[in-house]
Amino acid sequence: MMVTAATYESLMQFLYQAPIGLVQTTLAGDIEMMNPTTARLLMPLSRDGGLDNLFTALENVAPRLRHMAAAVDQPSGVVCDSLRIPLPATGGSAGSVVLSISMLKLDEARLVAVINDVTLEVQREQEGLSRTLGVAERVDKLTGLPNRFAVLERLQASMKLAAKEPGHEFALLYMNGDRFKQINDSLGYAVGDKLLSLIAERLRSTLRSRPRDGPGTLGGPLIARIGGDEFAVLLDDLKPPNNVYGVAQRLVDQLAKPYTIGTHELFCSVSMGVVLRDTASADADAVLQDASLAMAEAKRAGGMRFVLFEPGMHSRATHRASLEVDLRLALTDDQLFVVYQPVVGLQGKQSAEGIVERSAGVEALVRWQHPLRGVVPPFEFISVAEECGLIDALGEFVLRTACRQFVQWQAQLGARAPRTLAVNLSRGQLGEPGLISIVDGILRSSGMPPAQLQLEVTESLAAQGESALAKLRELKALGLTLALDDFGTGYSSLSSLHQIPVDTVKIDRSFVSKADTSLHHRVLIEATIHVAHSLGMNTVAEGIETQAQADVVRQLGADKGQGYLFSKPLLSADLVKWLEIEK
Ligand code: C2E
Ligand code: CA
Ligand code: CA
């Protein structure tokens, strides 16, 4: 291009008016030329109102610039490219101004610099960064699901909406894995992590196939991982008629199905607490807490189910908390004791009067003599003990006491002594790594003959997969026998009975109590006895209260019976008397 005087003039005009700062200096930084933008940008840095030297002006904010320029020893070259210079915030201005400076050594005598105000650019970058940070803060790294933060935020939003729109419904579903800890402890964190990812995936796929309840107001359901093995689902697109229970049940069902990890087939059902809009507190944190209270009730009821939150749970939780404090004392203060309920043979020898029931054994049942509350029933405190980690100490106490007592009866009563001792093993105990050696130690120290000890486990416990079954086999290797307690109330069926290494099946009281009035229950009892016998197991009918019930279960082939008809659980001294009368 030919540079005419006119084009030169317009170029100068352009440079002069450009919204970027242009400045030319000597190698020492003395300003030879600058445009008004430069003056505007640098003026705040000038202490005396003059702008003579660029390096002096920038002395406080970019002290290195002078040295950088001097360091370029070639005749020409780049001094710096887009060097960012944050200026000190001046009073009243929101956020500090950031300049960007690019400097070139033009020749042996001159430097030129381009100065930009990049404040907005920097702000935008920071916002972008905090947006990604914000996302990271709201995402669980392992599963990629939103986390607790995210749930609280959206819950808050949903609650706000509900306050404005009476028709807006929402429900918070809070889930906790029923036996994640055992899996994690026995198979390691890598398997645990994988399992959590699979649970997350199953939640997603189950909800993806959810029939829509209505047009969404805040988007689809929010699925989140809010802690170790705790997940939450926020359904906030509910329109009447909605079906929260249907969704909750479907999740419970789907999550109860096995997961395959490597060679392991793992079961990790969930307990779920559900809070509906109607019973929701005003604060998102409190809603989450209420959901976890309901979840804990679902867990206590045996897991693999959902429980709806209701405000009465608060006082129950307080009651349990005080029980927990008291129970710790009870263990050290001798407030616990053991009673024994006779288990009698039903298929005994004939006598002139008919069939004679013979004492076969006893079941040890724990009792708590509370200093103020009186006798607290086990269903109130066993679950408390499980939750607060006292179940091992409690279980050990019962086993030790009962074994000692049994040995004492043998010495005292000889042939009249009970022949077997049944002791309950709770869910929490089977997961305990030291269980086998504890049981072994008690057998040895008490002198209890292992073959006469029977440990009772519940169905749900026995149906918990391979590691639980392995534990049961280890127990049996000590020489004792096992019973499946409360059969019929849990989830394992007759068809899976052969997989559980037990010697005895105890048919639950809920069946026995209807044995004489309901054909349906009679058929189930008969089938249970039949299958048990075919597997070489014997049977106990629990909770027999009437002669009619006793007669029916005896006819159906039950080997033994237990219940108030024969005797309530008794103190040792009363049991000794009862044995006298029975003989
Ligand atoms: P379970 O193992 O099924 O024990 C039988 C329960 O039924 C006992 O209640 C017993 O008193 C009661 N029962 C027996 N015969 C009858 C009857 O004819 N009618 C009625 N209505 N009830 C009858 P208990 O002692 O209150 O124990 C309740 C549950 O607490 C037990 O159920 C067991 O699961 C648990 N438990 C009791 N003691 C212990 C223990 O030492 N350790 C553990 N882990 N659990 C225990
Ligand atoms: Ca039992
Ligand atoms: Ca039972």
Q: How confident is the model at residue 216 (pLDDT cuts 50, 70, 90)?
A: very low
Task: Give the residue whose CA is nearest to atom 13 of ligand 1.
Answer: 543
Of the candidates 117, 118, 109, 82, the residue with the CA atom closest to the CA atom of residue 24: 109
Residue 536, burial from CB neighbour count under 10 angstroms (0-12, 13-18, 19+): exposed
Asked whether 390 and 328 are in contact (CB, 8 A), the reply is yes
At 97 the pLDDT is 85
For residue 241, cis peptide bond before it (omega within 30 degrees of 0): yes
The verdict on the CB of residue 545 being under 6 Å from ligand 1 is: yes
The verdict on the CB of residue 430 being under 6 Å from ligand 1 is: no
Q: Describe the crossing of helices 466-476 and 435-446 by its angle, rounded to 10 degrees.
A: 20
Asked whether 499 and 462 are in contact (CB, 8 A), the reply is no
CA atoms within 13 A on the CB side of 268: 30
Q: Cα(560) to centroid of ligand 1, in Å?
A: 16
Q: What is the mean pLDDT of the segment spanning 342-351?
A: 80
Task: Give the residue whose CA is nearest to atom 42 of ligand 1.
Answer: 424
Residue 112, burial from CB neighbour count under 10 angstroms (0-12, 13-18, 19+): middle
CA–CA dist 353, 355 (Å, integer): 7
Pairing verdict, β 504-507 and 481-487: parallel
135: left (phi over 0), alpha (psi -120 to 50) or beta: alpha
Pocket-testing residue among 327, 394, 397, 424, ligand 1, by greatest number of atoms within 8 A of Cβ: 424
Q: Which atom of ligand 1 is nearest to the CA of 569?
A: 11
The verdict on the CB of residue 396 being under 6 Å from ligand 1 is: no
CA–CA dist 440, 436 (Å, integer): 6
The verdict on the CB of residue 486 being under 6 Å from ligand 1 is: yes
Residues 6+ apart with CB under 8 A from 205: none
Q: Which atom of ligand 1 is nearest to the CA of 339?
A: 25
* Backbone φ, ψ for residue 23 (5° rounding): -145, 140
Q: Cα(109) to centroid of ligand 3, in Å?
A: 100
Q: At 484, which helix (H) or strand (E)? A: strand 481-487
Q: Cα(104) to centroid of ligand 1, in Å?
A: 90
Amino acid at 215: P
| pLDDT tens figures, 73-106 | 888 888 988 888 888 776 545 567 889 999 999 8
Of the candidates 336, 343, 446, the residue with the CA atom closest to the CA atom of residue 395: 336
Q: Which atom of ligand 1 is nearest to the CA of 456?
A: 2
Asked whether 512 and 553 are in contact (CB, 8 A), the reply is yes
Q: How confident is the model at residue 320 (pLDDT cuts 50, 70, 90)?
A: confident
Q: What is the mean pLDDT of the segment spanning 170-186?
A: 91
Task: Give the residue whose CA is nearest to atom 4 of ligand 1.
Answer: 365
Task: Give the residue whose CA is nearest to atom 11 of ligand 1.
Answer: 569
CA–CA dist 554, 542 (Å, integer): 12
Q: Which atom of ligand 1 is nearest to the CA of 338?
A: 41
Ligand sitting nearest the alpha carbon of 364: 1
Residue 370, burial from CB neighbour count under 10 angstroms (0-12, 13-18, 19+): middle
CA–CA dist 402, 72 (Å, integer): 91
The verdict on the CB of residue 365 being under 6 Å from ligand 1 is: yes
Residue 415: CB atoms within 10 A of its CB come to: 7
Task: Give the residue whose CA is nearest to atom 37 of ligand 1.
Answer: 365
Instruction: Tell me the average pLDDT of the chain.
Output: 88
The verdict on the CB of residue 450 being under 6 Å from ligand 1 is: no
DSSP codes joined into one string, 341-399: EEEEESS--EETTEEPPEEEEEEEEEEEEETTTEEEPHHHHHHHHHHTT-HHHHHHHHH
CA–CA dist 199, 204 (Å, integer): 9
At 45 the pLDDT is 84
Task: Give the residue whose CA is nearest to atom 8 of ligand 1.
Answer: 365
Q: Say if residue 142's pLDDT is above 80.
A: yes
Asked whether 365 and 569 are in contact (CB, 8 A), the reply is yes
Task: Give the residue whose CA is nearest to atom 19 of ligand 1.
Answer: 543
Q: Say if residue 403's pLDDT is above 70.
A: yes
Q: Cα(486) to centroid of ligand 3, in Å?
A: 4
The verdict on the CB of residue 341 being under 6 Å from ligand 1 is: yes
Residues 6+ apart with CB under 8 A from 509: 542, 543, 563
Q: Cα(365) to centroid of ligand 1, in Å?
A: 6
Residue 349, burial from CB neighbour count under 10 angstroms (0-12, 13-18, 19+): exposed
Ligand sitting nearest the alpha carbon of 506: 3
The verdict on the CB of residue 344 being under 6 Å from ligand 1 is: no
Asked whether 291 and 174 are in contact (CB, 8 A), the reply is yes
Q: Any idea of the CA torsion for 489, 492, 496, 502, to the nearest 10 degrees?
A: -70
The verdict on the CB of residue 377 being under 6 Å from ligand 1 is: yes
Q: Cα(364) to centroid of ligand 1, in Å?
A: 9
At 217 the pLDDT is 38
The verdict on the CB of residue 543 being under 6 Å from ligand 1 is: yes
Q: Cα(314) to centroid of ligand 1, in Å?
A: 27
Asked whether 467 and 182 are in contact (CB, 8 A), the reply is yes
Task: Give the residue whose CA is nearest to atom 22 of ligand 1.
Answer: 543
Q: Which atom of ligand 1 is nearest to the CA of 545?
A: 18
Residue 124: CB atoms within 10 A of its CB come to: 11
The verdict on the CB of residue 378 being under 6 Å from ligand 1 is: yes
Bridge partners of 337, per DSSP, are: 367
Q: How confident is the model at residue 63 (pLDDT cuts 50, 70, 90)?
A: confident
At 358 the pLDDT is 61
Q: Say if residue 394's pLDDT is above 90.
A: yes
CA–CA dist 201, 208 (Å, integer): 10
At 218 the pLDDT is 47
More confident site: 580 or 419: 419
CA atoms within 13 A on the CB side of 169: 14
Q: What is the mean pLDDT of the segment spanning 432-437?
A: 92
Residue 215: CB atoms within 10 A of its CB come to: 7
Of the candidates 498, 500, 507, the residue with the CA atom closest to the CA atom of residue 531: 498
Q: Cα(295) to centroid of ligand 2, in Å?
A: 25
Q: Cα(377) to centroid of ligand 2, in Å?
A: 14
Task: Give the residue whose CA is nearest to atom 27 of ligand 1.
Answer: 378
Q: Say if residue 517's pLDDT is above 90.
A: yes
Amino acid at 368: W
At 359 the pLDDT is 64
Q: Which atom of ligand 1 is nearest to the CA of 377?
A: 26
Q: Say if residue 231's pLDDT is above 70.
A: yes
The verdict on the CB of residue 561 being under 6 Å from ligand 1 is: no
Bridge partners of 172, per DSSP, are: 234, 275
Q: Any idea of the CA torsion for 311, 316, 321, 327, to the nearest 10 degrees?
A: -170
Residue 210: CB atoms within 10 A of its CB come to: 16
Q: In what order do the strands lie in the sheet with 230-238?
A: 222-227, 230-238, 169-177, 270-276, 305-308
Q: Say if residue 67's pLDDT is above 60.
A: yes
Range from 206-215, 358-367, 573-582 carrying the lowest mean pLDDT: 206-215
| pLDDT tens figures, 444-495 | 999 999 999 999 998 766 556 777 888 999 999 999 999 999 998 865 578 8
| pLDDT tens figures, 528-572 | 999 999 999 999 999 999 999 999 999 999 999 999 999 999 999
- What percentage of the chain reaches a pLDDT higher than 70? 92
The verdict on the CB of residue 569 being under 6 Å from ligand 1 is: yes
Amino acid at 388: C
The verdict on the CB of residue 380 being under 6 Å from ligand 1 is: no
Q: How confident is the model at residue 214 (pLDDT cuts 50, 70, 90)?
A: very low
Task: Give the residue whose CA is nearest to atom 43 of ligand 1.
Answer: 424
At 2 the pLDDT is 62
| pLDDT tens figures, 203-213 | 999 988 655 44
